[in-house]
Amino acid sequence: MTVAVAGPAVFIAAIVCVDHASGLGRFTPSRPLGLAVPTVVFIGGALGVPLTLGEEYGWRGYLLPRLLPLGEIKATLIVGVIWTVWHLPILLIGLNYPEQSLMKVLPVFAITVLLIAFPFTWMYVESRASVAAVALMHSVLNATGDTFTSSRYVDGNPLVVSAGGIIAASILFMLVLVGGALRYAKRA
């Protein structure tokens, strides 16, 4: 459960650091981080679990185990594609990427979701099929990403600097490349 909480928090912190260091996004906290971080991670993460539990029961609790006989990579990609389509309504109304072209949003979001599906699969498999662990990870990711990469904290194009932006996708790509290589090499 530690990884389910710390993993998303560290991932969002990495996005914020790259945003700020690159100059693509300026991180300006609207309140003291000493209070905001634990509040968002622990309280926000806990409060979101009922919502993510329902979603994760469908993705990792029901669909993923039925697809795993195809292999972890194929199963993850299939779940990732369906998970992306599931989020289309919120993208179409402009919730995650306000004032952005849908033609730019769709590929960035799809790539980010496909990549984030891998750590979610890994959490599910390594936690011995715990939907609760994956739901907690999903909830902490939502709480920290929606807060600390929002326009209240980071000034910049959300298509680039948000938890579903190009910087996030780049970090995820490296994580999946390295983590996947280590994970699958260990099995060989």
> Is the predicted pLDDT of residue 146 greater than 90, yes or no?
yes
**Helix or strand or coil: residue 9?**
helix
Q: What is the mean pLDDT of residues 106-118?
A: 97
Confidence of residue 187 (pLDDT cuts 50, 70, 90): confident
pLDDT at position 119 is 98
pLDDT at position 128 is 95
Q: What is the mean pLDDT of residues 47-72?
A: 97
Domains of the chain, by residue range, sit at 2-187
> Is the predicted pLDDT of residue 188 greater than 80, yes or no?
no
End-to-end CA distance of the chain: give it in Å, rounded.
27
> Is the predicted pLDDT of residue 30 greater than 80, yes or no?
no
pTM of this structure: 0.95
Q: What is the mean pLDDT of residues 88-101?
A: 89
Confidence of residue 8 (pLDDT cuts 50, 70, 90): very high
Rounded to whole angstroms, the Cα distance separating 19 from 16 reads: 5
pLDDT at position 162 is 96
Cβ burial of 180 (10 Å; 0-12, 13-18, 19+) is middle
Task: State what percent of residues in the chain have pLDDT above 70.
Answer: 99
> Is the predicted pLDDT of residue 66 greater than 80, yes or no?
yes
pLDDT at position 176 is 97
Asked whether 172 and 115 are in contact (CB, 8 A), the reply is: yes
